[in-house]
Structure formats: C-alpha cells, structure tokens
Chains A and B, each alone.
Chain A
Amino acid sequence: MSHAHAQATSESPLAASNITLPAKALVVRNLGVIGAVIGLGGGFAVAATGAFGTTVAHAWRAYLIAFLFGLSMCLGALFFVTIQHLVRAGWSVAVRRIAEAIALNLRWIWLLFLPFAVLWFLGKANMIWIWADMESLRANNPAEYHIVHAKEGFLNPTFFWSRAAAYFVIWAFLANFYFSNSVKQDSSGDIALSERMQKWSGPAAILFGLSISFAAFDWIMSLSPAWFSTMFGVYFFAGCCTAGYSTMILCTVRLKSLGTLKGIVSNEHFQDLGKLLWAFGMVFWAYIAFSQYMLIWYANIPEETGWFLARQLGGWAPLSFALLFGHFAIPFLMFISRWPKRYGPSLAFAGVWMLCFHYVDLYWLVMPEIPHDIGTFKTYSEIATKYENQVTHFGNPVNFLFLFGVIGAVGAGTVTTLSRVALVPKKDPRLADSLRFENM
C-alpha cells in the first residue's frame, strides 16, 4: 500500500484498467441523454397541452423542483470537495474525484435555469414568484403586497438576476478550480497544487455558504415573499448535503460493482460516506428543520405561521409526516448501526431512499401555496375544514418527467466527465493515507 506512487503495474491498484471508467458505464451516459430529452421534452409537452389536468403554474413549479434537485446534487458534491481540502482530509482522497466530477456539472447547470429567464421575458414569472409582478399582487392581495413592497429593494428583477448570475459564476468557478487542479496533479504530481487548493478552500467555503443561502432565499423562500426564516439557507444546505452524499454513494458503489477501484475504495470508505450521509442528511437535516419549525410554532406570529399552516392543510399534512419519518426517523434507525454503511447494497439503498425523500422535501418546500384568505378565519379548525380537500398533485407525471430529465442530464454530465479522467486523484500526496485508511 505504501507503494501507491510506485510504477503502476497490472497488480497495482493504480493500474489503468482499475481507475478508468469501464466502457459499460457509458451506457449510463446514453441513457442519461435519452432521459434528459424525453423527460424535459415530455415535461414541457405535458405543460403545454395541459395533460393530466396539469396547470402551467404547476408545471413551472415542478420544473423548479427538478432543477433544484439536480442543483443540490452538484452543490453537495462541491461542498464535500471544499471541506476535504479545508480540513486536509486524508481518508477521502480515494473518493474525491467522483465528487469533483459531480460538482463539475455546475459549469453548465445554469442552462437549466434559462427557461426561467424566458418566462421572465414573457412577463409571466409571477406564476412562480408572485413578487415578479407587483401590480397584480397589489390588485389580488393587497395585504401581502403591503409586506412585500417593503422588500422591493431586495426582491426586484434586476437584483434577482444579478444575484442568480453571481451564484452560477461562483459555483462554476469553484467546481472548475477544484476539478482542473486535481486533474492537473494526475500528470504532474505537483504538491504545490494540493497546497493551492487547500489555501483557497477557506474563502471557497465562505463563498459557497453565502451563495447557497442566498440562492435558497431567492429561489425557494421568495415563493412566499411575505414569509421569512433566517434558518432557511441552512435548511437548503442540509438538503444539498443529503443529495450530494447520496449521489456520491451511488456512483461509488456502482463503480465498485463494475469491477473498478479494487484495492482503492474499501468498506472503510463506504462506512465514512455512510456516516456523512447519516450525520448531514438525516440528523443535521432534522435538527435544522425542527429548529426552524419550533421557534415559529412557539412564537405563533400569524405572519410566520402561515407558511407551516399551508403545509398542514388537506393532503399536505400526510406529506409533512412522510418527511418527518422518511427523511429522519426511519433512516436514522435503519442506518445508525455500523454494518449497513459498510455493505455496498445496503449503503446504496440508503442513497436511493434519501434521494427519494430529498425530492419529497423539495416538493414540500416549493409546491404548497398559502391560501389568500388565511387572514379572514377566526380559528385553526375553520381553515383546516375549508381546505381539507387540498391536493398535493404529487403523483402528477409532469413532476417525474422533469425530475428524470434533470437527473438524466446531471448523470450524463457526470459519466462523461469521469470517462475522460482517472477515477482517483492518482498522484495526490495523501492517496497512500487514503488507501490505508481504517475506521478505529
């Protein structure tokens, strides 16, 4: 193991066949491209024709959810890479290239955001973000207009789009920086590259934290512009970690099962990826979700409680409970033990499970709308009775068409990247550490 830097022989874990993406995996790229075309095309077709009773507003929100899903996978991976450099981690080198490749999708993910620009130019953005058209908000909901009007310095189209551009530039830049330096090291083995990546990981982490918080405020929280939660950015960050670690786990387990990474990625690395998913995706998510909920529940100020109230009406109540148990309680107990994290199939199951509930989480964040007449009721039960037939439209095929479309695009992008580079940073100075790594 200590000869990780020695000449790669056919026996060595760093032999080319062991760290190159097998041709079989390129099927995933083709499937991804087909999925992207069918998913996105089909989704927009359903939206245009109104099949399955789909309203245009619903389709746009479904697309926003799918976009956020793909984005959060890449952002979670970018977070992983940044943090490994920040703490100078040794154990993770063996799986870092996979995260770098997933994060690299951030170079083009802005393309998936462009449809919203089109919508904006058509003057119909208020289907999603009601503050985009303040005049119609004033006409339809004067009470809300009054509150949102005070936020116009922040929530105005010019500033919104400048911020969006800034986020995409930051993410593309960071993903590109870590990927290209790491790949450069594959040929040169220059330790200065590691030092450079470490040196900039502090500022990178700060930029990352600020950009994803504000992106969450802009794209999700401003869907209910009168409502606010200072915790919201962190909540979205927890979701990004869930998606990012799950995706990394699925890629790693699949690459192992294709026969690559033998003697490089071991059960020890599986266990640590599992720990991270357990800690960030289940525990940290629940901690943040509850911290956000409890303060609002306890203070009981109408301005704040409306947002949660909308998520308790009719069909949203079961979905909220599904989130509580599916995103936290059940997987928390299922994966608290050591062995499910060390065994490939059960770890992959954790990844799939958490990705499913991450989607439910995003759906729960984006889709519900606070009823306009919420201020006119005397009691909770009056509201609950009036809206007991609220439907979530969770099963609408347009949701899944868009979702598979975005997953297809991100999957194809990731596989394409991995097919061009080694599957491990083969000359990273800490690779030998990572190969030897063992959980005590």
Chain B
Amino acid sequence: MATPVTTHSDTPAQAPRIHGLLAEFETPGDLMHAAAKVRDAGYRWWDCHTPFPVHGLDGAMGIKRTILPVCVFCAGATGTIAAFCLQAFTNSVGWTIWAGVWLTGYPFLISGKPAMSLPAFIPVIFELTILFSALSCVGLMFLFNGLPSLHHPLFKSNRFRRASNDRFFIVIEARDPKFLPKKTEEFLKTLDPTAIELVED
C-alpha cells in the first residue's frame, strides 16, 4: 500500500532539507488509532490534519490544554486596571506624572458627582476589559499557532490537498529529536497508512 519514499541525490550544498514524513489515512478512526501510537512512541514535533474537527483527537494525540485562557484572563485584568488608572488619572486625582512628557490630570466636575465616582468608570472598565481580552485572545491564538505564515512546506505536496477534503494526515517533522528518516518511515508503515510521503522544506 505504501508508496515508495522519494529520495533525492542532489549535491549536499543544494540538498533540500527534509520537513518531515507525511502519512495518509482514509478514515478518522484509522487516524485516531495511528495518532495514539505516534503519541506512545514519544514523538513531540508532529501533527494531525483533518478536513473537520475530530472529537477525541486531542486525547489521542496527548495534547496538553492550551494556556491561552490564563493569558486572556491576565490581559483582561490588565484592561480592568488600565481603564481604572486612566480614568482616575484623567478625571479624578490631579496628579502630575512623567510619561515621556509631564502630564497633569484634570479633576472634572461632572453633574455634581464626586471626582472619583466608580459607577461612572464601570462602562469604560468593562469595555477595556473586553477589548484587551478579545484582542489578546485572537492575537495570542495566532502567535501560539505560528500564524500568520505565508507558506508551509506541506503545501508542496499534492497529496496533502485532500486534507481539506476527504483524507486524514499525520506529519512527523524532521526537527523532532526522535526523527530518523528510515526508522520513522518504518514506524509509520506499521500504522498501516494508505500512503507515506517525504516532504521537503
């Protein structure tokens, strides 16, 4: 079933570096079983590619939960504090601080309320909390996923195009400390994929 691995005999100077080995599966179930074995074999730099979310794949791959929620909470809390300080400084306390230039806050009298009126600050505090959370959530999600990225070596593979249609893939990357082209290929063959392909960088 497995197609022969393409090998390259170019001169070392121009030898394309290997990105990794791609294994193709026909069903989500096959992928799940294979993923569990890759996980148990101790690989770390590898990934699965599926046309749709597969329930339980995270567990089969042994992926730890993301720390994104904690980061978003911290960003939200920063927003809360920043909004409070901003309003307290600009409307209430009248301090003079140095932020590149000397700035002086101006205590405003607004409809007879005390200068430090927390209820009036809440809407802005709310907004900035949401703003910081939402932006950090999207921004950090991109960052953690290595995005934006204009190109990916996997896009060179014609076979891989079906990852967005009807095939399921496992890629073990060459930067994995356990990656040895021959041995990893042997290992992937034991997972019974429909095809194996070497992907260059």
Contact = CB atoms under 8 A, between A and B. Distances in A.
- Interface range, B side: 10 to 19
B139 interface: no
A336 B53 CA distance: 25
Contacts of B122: 290, 294
A294 to B, nearest CB: 5
A438 B55 CA distance: 7
B55 A436 contact: yes
A359 to B, nearest CB: 25
B53 A440 contact: yes
B120 A298 contact: yes
Interface string B54-78: 0110000000000001000100000
A342 B73 CA distance: 19
A325 interface: no
B100 interface: no
A108 interface: no
B111 A293 contact: no
B12 interface: no
A152 B111 CA distance: 34
A298 B122 CA distance: 12
B73 A336 contact: yes
Given A298-B111, A300-B111, A438-B56, A338 B119 contact: no
B123 interface: yes
A290 B122 CA distance: 9
Interface in A321-365: 336-338
A103 B111 CA distance: 47
Contacts of B55: 436, 438
A440 B56 CA distance: 9
Contacts, number: 20
A358 B120 CA distance: 26
B69 A338 contact: yes
A297 interface: yes
A298 B69 contact: no
A299 to B, nearest CB: 9
A83 B100 CA distance: 54
Interface in A16-35: none
Interface string A290-312: 10011001101000000000000
A113 B111 CA distance: 44
Contact of A294 (B53, B69, B112, B119): B119
A337 B73 CA distance: 10
A337 B69 CA distance: 8
Contacts of B53: 440
A277 B194 CA distance: 47
A293 B69 contact: no
Interface in A273-297: 290, 293-294, 297
Contact of B123 (A294, A337, A338): A294
A365 B123 CA distance: 24
Nearest to A336: B73
B3 to A, nearest CB: 34
20 contacts: A290-B119, A290-B122, A293-B119, A294-B119, A294-B120, A294-B122, A294-B123, A297-B119, A298-B111, A298-B119, A298-B120, A300-B111, A300-B112, A336-B73, A337-B69, A338-B69, A436-B55, A438-B55, A438-B56, A440-B53
Given A294-B119, A298-B119, A336-B73, 7 more contacts: A290-B119, A293-B119, A294-B120, A294-B123, A297-B119, A338-B69, A438-B56
